[in-house]
Structure 1
C-alpha cells in the first residue's frame, strides 16, 4: 500500500479557507468579485505552484549530483484555461531559467528531461490529462 498524505481546509468566513498541508498553514481565498477578500491564492494556481515546485526540486537535486553549480535558477509555468465551466487547465508550458558561468547545456537538458520524464510525479499526473511543454533558457553570468 502506498504512502498516504492529507490536506485540509477550515472555513474562515466569506470565501476564505485556512489550509493545512504537511503541518504548514496558509490561506486560500477567492477574488473579491465572487465574494472573497483576496487573503490568499486561489486553489487552481496552486496546481501550477505544485508543478514548478516539484520539477524545480528535481532539477536542482539532479544538477547537484552532476556537480553542476548554477548562480540562479527560476522555473515558471503558464497554464491556459478553457472558458466554460468547469474551468480547468487545458495546457501548461514550463520555462526553466538558469544563470551561471559556463553552464553545460547537455547536463541541464538531461536534468530537466529526467524531471519531466521520470521523477516529477506532479508533471506525470498532469500529463495524463493535458499537454505540458517546456523550454530552457541559459544566461551567462
Structure 2
C-alpha cells in the first residue's frame, strides 16, 4: 500500500476504492475509527463464517462497539467492548459463545492488538419465530 499526503490527512488507493484518513472527520476517516472497524469487521466476518459452517440459521448480525481512549497517552485506545447481536432460529447460547471464542482465536486483527488493547466480546441473541 502507498499512502499519499493530501491537504488535511492522507489517502490510499485500494482495489475497492480510495480511502481518506484524517484526524478531522470532515476530511476522512479518523485513525481510531479505522482501527475499531478493522477489529469489529474481522471478528464479525470470522464469526459469520463459523456460524455458516455449522449451518446455524442466522437472519442478521450486528456489532456495537464501545471504545475507551486515554487522553493522557495520545488518546490511545485502551478498551474495545464488542456486543454481537445475533438474530436467528433455534439459537443455542452456549454454542454461540463457543463460536465467538473460536472466532477470536482466528481473527488476525484481534490477535494483532490483544496484548495492547483490552477487547471484550459478548453476545445478545434474539430468537425469531417462523
TM-score > 0.5 by shorter chain: yes
Matched, 1:139 2:126: yes
**How far did residue 76 of structure 1 move?**
2.2
RMSD: 1.7
Alpha-carbon offset, residue 24 of structure 1? 3.6
Q: CA deviation at 1:83?
A: 1.1
Residue number in structure 2 paired with 1:115: 103
What CA distance in whole angstroms lies between the structure 2 residues aligned with 1:21 and 1:127? 26
Q: Following TM superposition, where does structure 1 have runs of at least 4 consecutive aligned residues deviating by more than 6 angstroms?
A: none
The answer to which structure has the higher strand fraction is 2
TM-score by length of 1: 0.81
Between stretches 46-55 and 127-136, larger displacement belongs to 127-136
Deviation of 1:22 (Å): 5.2
TM-score (norm 2): 0.87
Q: Unaligned regions of 5+ residues in structure 2, if any?
A: none
Matched, 1:50 2:38: yes
Q: Which residue of 1 aligns with 2:67?
A: 79
Matches of 1:100 and 1:91 in 2, distance apart? 29
Q: In the TM superposition, what whole-angstrom CA distance separates every residue of 1:61-90 from its partner, at most 9, and x where no partner exists?
A: 001110112111011222200012422011
Q: What is the CA-CA distance between 1:16 and the residue it aligns to? A: 3.1
Task: Note the C-alpha offset of 1:41.
Answer: 1.2
The verdict on how the C-alpha distance between 1:85 and 1:129 changes in structure 2, with shifts beyond 3 A counting, is: closer
